[in-house]
Chains A and B, each alone.
Chain A
Amino acid sequence: MNEAVDLRSALNEHAIVAITDRQGRITSANERFCEISKYSREELLGQDHRIIDSGDHPREFFQELWETIGRGAAWHGEIKNRAKDGTFYWVATTIVPFAGAGGKPRRFVAIGADITEQKRVEAELAERLRLQRLLADLSTRFVGLTSEHIDAAIEKTQRLIVETLGLDRSTLWQLSEHGEGLVCTHCWQRPGWPALPPRFTTRGSLPWSERKVMRGEMMSFSSLDELPPEATRDAETFRLHGPKSNVTFPLIANGQVFGALAFATLATERKWREDDLTELNLIAQIFANVVGRQRAELREEQIRAELAHAMRVAMLGELAATLAHELNQPLAAILSNAQAARRFSAIGELPPGELQSILGDIVRDDKRAGAVIQNLRAMVSKRPIIRESCCLNELVREAVELIRSELIDAKVEVRLALPPAVPRVDAARVELQQVLVNLLVNALHAMNVTPPEARFIEVETRHEAASVVVVIRDRGDGIPLERLPVIFDPFFSTKANGLGMGLSICRRIIENHGGRIEAHNHHEGGATFTFTLPVRDRGVS
């Protein structure tokens, strides 16, 4: 008897206990029940469990519960309840039916343990897991995407992150080429929030954040109050455009900040946990990779266009004699035809039909001259080429990158020996690119008949006195001796379809830059092209 009393008091000490009648009305609730539900015993008695129903369990959940205890079996399960103050709590519950007369349950005793904390940890772990899965997914998500598909993928990913982490907005910023600071290029936010203005920039509106990010530092606040006094302007902007809490990561490629990835909450403030920041930072790094690649592709595209343009312009210069000739021929014919006609008519001895054929020829030749001019105009465009401080190692890498697919197709390997200490030169980037691409493509073509396993191009840069020397060597058959002296002359070409302009353009570009270019055959086989450029003059002071 005493044992039963002891047991009951021990149970009350440990567990949440409630007893209900057959209809489910609460007839008894212990201290812990009242404590966790925040209802007084008086409020509970006579009520059924709906008073603490969280509404989160489906109808079938309770149907199964009642069915189990209705046939006299005990029910075990986890129930999410709602306390009087609206907060939720989880109870691992066992309900035991006690039979009365006729074997039907007379009352039910529910015993439970508070598992709210455990549930919270579980939920957090689940979120962690989702985030990690997301991270794993992200790193493969962008693989093989072409530039035009990346934009869509970026925004889709921003959405995924925002939704997974329960945030409201993610913005991607990229450094403007026109000195406007960071410009927002991609934004995803939950519907219902006012959109950011188009081409929103940090310049003037977020000076403190911009400086911090451009220094390569992460910037975060869990509430606007956390912003330092020097960020007053930023705080105003944040207030105007919504973020109640925010975290911004710099995007870095080749040691330079080129953008930022930001996450914000708009509805409520959010305390950023260390784990959040670590994982978001990882995400930012993946973005840095992807966006960096996209920017590089864009730049490559620009280089290609500029290169093509420079080629045309240079070709025109090189072709000046040819073009003059092309114009001169019809002009010469027109003049002689017209003068012949004048002479014939002056002496009154114009042969029959002669005038018609003379005029016909003049018209034809005039049209031919017009076509030459037309062509010329089509080839000329006006973008100016400026000289700047260039790193030849970088230019070599870019040139190799530009012809990468050709190298792959031709099964040619490029071996680079580019010591980092090579000084910079003052040069027109596009023109040097053109020289490098030209020499590389020549080297590649020179190995058409070389066995694939022996096809490689060696590119070496070195610092020699006041010059930077670039050596490009192939493993082809070399240059026939009789061609060596004329190889840089215009119109010399070993290619049936080539204009023969390539190497003469190269020479002109190099000499324009105050350098020299030479070709010779390597004693171990293959052709070697060497050019030098004067080291950038740092000025004497």
Chain B
Amino acid sequence: MPTSSIQVYIVDDEPSICTAYARLVRSAKMRPRTFASVEDLMRSDFTDQNACVVSDVRLPGKSGLELPVLLGRSGHHLPVIFVTAHDSAETRDLAQRLGAASYFRKPVDDQALLDAISWAVSAQLRVS
């Protein structure tokens, strides 16, 4: 599976973070799209094919943690990777139970994030 076709939806209310992650994603030959909130993402026309979400947890409006449930409820099969500055054991547990593909603390290392994205997308492929 060529990585160039992987679509990464980045959700973070901080524009500088969105820009930086988007660059990182591009440098790994993936295609980024950025959103400032859960609502923004849900409103958009995104596809599940060969894609995943990289989202912050604490966001204006709906929490990033709601994403797995919201996506599932609307019939999507899209892995969600969380990257948060508000790291705590509870949040980590909750994210896991809600079906997060991965969970990272900010700042996140490039290789770890990119590997997680690749792994999540390929795992998704295996499932479907």
Q: Compute how far the CA of A4 lies from the CA of B2 in the bound complex, rounded to whole angstroms.
A: 155
Contact with A along B101-114 (1 / 0, CB 8 A): 00000111110000
Which B residues touch A250, using CB under 8 A?
Answer: none
Chain B CB within 8 A of A321 CB: yes
Partner of A365, one of B16, B86, B109: B16
Q: Compute how far the CA of A335 lies from the CA of B85 in the bound complex, rounded to whole angstroms.
A: 14
Which A residues touch B21, using CB under 8 A?
Answer: 336
Chain B CB within 8 A of A358 CB: yes
Partner of B23, one of A329, A337, A364: A337
> Which residues of chain B (18-33) have a CB below 8 Å from chain A?
19-21, 23-24, 26-28
- Asked if residues A333 and B19 are in contact (CB atoms below 8 Å), the reply is yes
- Asked if residues A336 and B85 are in contact (CB atoms below 8 Å), the reply is no
- Asked if residues A332 and B23 are in contact (CB atoms below 8 Å), the reply is no
Known: A336-B23, A336-B24. A361 touches B16 (CB 8 A): yes
Chain B CB within 8 A of A340 CB: yes
- Asked if residues B16 and A328 are in contact (CB atoms below 8 Å), the reply is no
- Asked if residues B86 and A333 are in contact (CB atoms below 8 Å), the reply is no
Which A residues touch B85, using CB under 8 A?
Answer: 324-325, 328-329, 332
- Asked if residues B17 and A332 are in contact (CB atoms below 8 Å), the reply is yes
B63 CB, min distance to chain A CBs, angstroms: 14
- Asked if residues B110 and A330 are in contact (CB atoms below 8 Å), the reply is no
Chain A CB within 8 A of B93 CB: no
Chain B CB within 8 A of A344 CB: yes
Q: Compute how far the CA of A331 lies from the CA of B106 in the bound complex, rounded to whole angstroms.
A: 8
Q: Compute how far the CA of A332 lies from the CA of B27 in the bound complex, rounded to whole angstroms.
A: 17
Known: A361-B16, A364-B16, A365-B16. A332 touches B107 (CB 8 A): yes
* Residue from A330, A333, A351, A361 with most neighbouring chain B CB atoms (10 Å): A333
Chain A CB within 8 A of B14 CB: yes
Q: Compute how far the CA of A344 lies from the CA of B23 in the bound complex, rounded to whole angstroms.
A: 9
Chain B interfacial residues counted at CB < 8 A: 19
Q: Compute how far the CA of A328 lies from the CA of B17 in the bound complex, rounded to whole angstroms.
A: 10
B93 CB, min distance to chain A CBs, angstroms: 18
- Asked if residues A337 and B20 are in contact (CB atoms below 8 Å), the reply is yes
A268 CB, min distance to chain B CBs, angstroms: 82
Contact with B along A315-351 (1 / 0, CB 8 A): 0000001001100111111111101110110010001
- Asked if residues A335 and B86 are in contact (CB atoms below 8 Å), the reply is no
> Which residues of chain A (510-535) have a CB below 8 Å from chain B?
none
Known: A335-B107, A336-B108. A330 touches B24 (CB 8 A): no
B34 CB, min distance to chain A CBs, angstroms: 13
Which B residues touch A330, using CB under 8 A?
Answer: 16
- Asked if residues B106 and A343 are in contact (CB atoms below 8 Å), the reply is no
Write the chain B residue with the least CB distance to A365.
B16
- Asked if residues A343 and B16 are in contact (CB atoms below 8 Å), the reply is no
A contact face: mostly helix, strand, loop, or mixed: helix
- Asked if residues A340 and B17 are in contact (CB atoms below 8 Å), the reply is no
- Asked if residues A328 and B26 are in contact (CB atoms below 8 Å), the reply is no
Q: Compute how far the CA of A336 lies from the CA of B85 in the bound complex, rounded to whole angstroms.
A: 14
Which B residues touch A31, using CB under 8 A?
Answer: none
Chain B CB within 8 A of A163 CB: no
Q: Compute how far the CA of A351 lies from the CA of B29 in the bound complex, rounded to whole angstroms.
A: 12
> Which residues of chain B (23-73) have a CB below 8 Å from chain A?
23-24, 26-28
Q: Compute how far the CA of A365 lies from the CA of B23 in the bound complex, rounded to whole angstroms.
A: 15
Q: Compute how far the CA of A325 lies from the CA of B83 in the bound complex, rounded to whole angstroms.
A: 12
Chain B CB within 8 A of A301 CB: no
Q: Compute how far the CA of A91 lies from the CA of B24 in the bound complex, rounded to whole angstroms.
A: 115
Write the chain B residue with the least CB distance to A346.
B27
B109 CB, min distance to chain A CBs, angstroms: 7
Q: Compute how far the CA of A473 lies from the CA of B39 in the bound complex, rounded to whole angstroms.
A: 42
Which B residues touch A328, using CB under 8 A?
Answer: 85, 106-107
- Asked if residues A325 and B23 are in contact (CB atoms below 8 Å), the reply is no
> Which residues of chain A (193-213) have a CB below 8 Å from chain B?
none
Chain B CB within 8 A of A354 CB: yes
Write the chain B residue with the least CB distance to A344.
B27
- Asked if residues A331 and B27 are in contact (CB atoms below 8 Å), the reply is no
B64 CB, min distance to chain A CBs, angstroms: 14
- Asked if residues A332 and B20 are in contact (CB atoms below 8 Å), the reply is yes
Which B residues touch A321, using CB under 8 A?
Answer: 86
A304 CB, min distance to chain B CBs, angstroms: 35
A360 CB, min distance to chain B CBs, angstroms: 11
A42 CB, min distance to chain B CBs, angstroms: 116
Which B residues touch A331, using CB under 8 A?
Answer: 106-107
Q: Compute how far the CA of A293 lies from the CA of B16 in the bound complex, rounded to whole angstroms.
A: 56
- Asked if residues B110 and A332 are in contact (CB atoms below 8 Å), the reply is no
Which A residues touch B14, using CB under 8 A?
Answer: 329, 333
Q: Compute how far the CA of A227 lies from the CA of B88 in the bound complex, rounded to whole angstroms.
A: 76
Partner of A340, one of B27, B83, B86: B27
Which B residues touch A351, using CB under 8 A?
Answer: 26
Q: Compute how far the CA of A180 lies from the CA of B64 in the bound complex, rounded to whole angstroms.
A: 64
Partner of A329, one of B19, B28, B106: B106
B81 CB, min distance to chain A CBs, angstroms: 14
Q: Compute how far the CA of A335 lies from the CA of B21 in the bound complex, rounded to whole angstroms.
A: 10
Q: Compute how far the CA of A321 lies from the CA of B57 in the bound complex, rounded to whole angstroms.
A: 14
B108 CB, min distance to chain A CBs, angstroms: 7
Contact with A along B77-90 (1 / 0, CB 8 A): 00000010110000
Which A residues touch B20, using CB under 8 A?
Answer: 332-337, 340, 361
Closest 7 CB pairs of A and B: A343-B27, A336-B20, A339-B110, A332-B107, A340-B23, A328-B85, A332-B106
* Extra A-B contacts (6), CB below 8 Å, given A337-B20, A339-B24: A337-B24, A340-B20, A340-B23, A343-B27, A361-B19, A364-B16
Between A and B, 22 residue pairs with Cβ closer than 8 Å are A332-B20, A332-B106, A332-B107, A332-B108, A333-B17, A333-B20, A334-B20, A335-B107, A335-B109, A336-B21, A336-B24, A336-B110, A337-B19, A337-B20, A337-B23, A340-B24, A340-B110, A341-B23, A344-B27, A347-B27, A351-B26, A358-B23
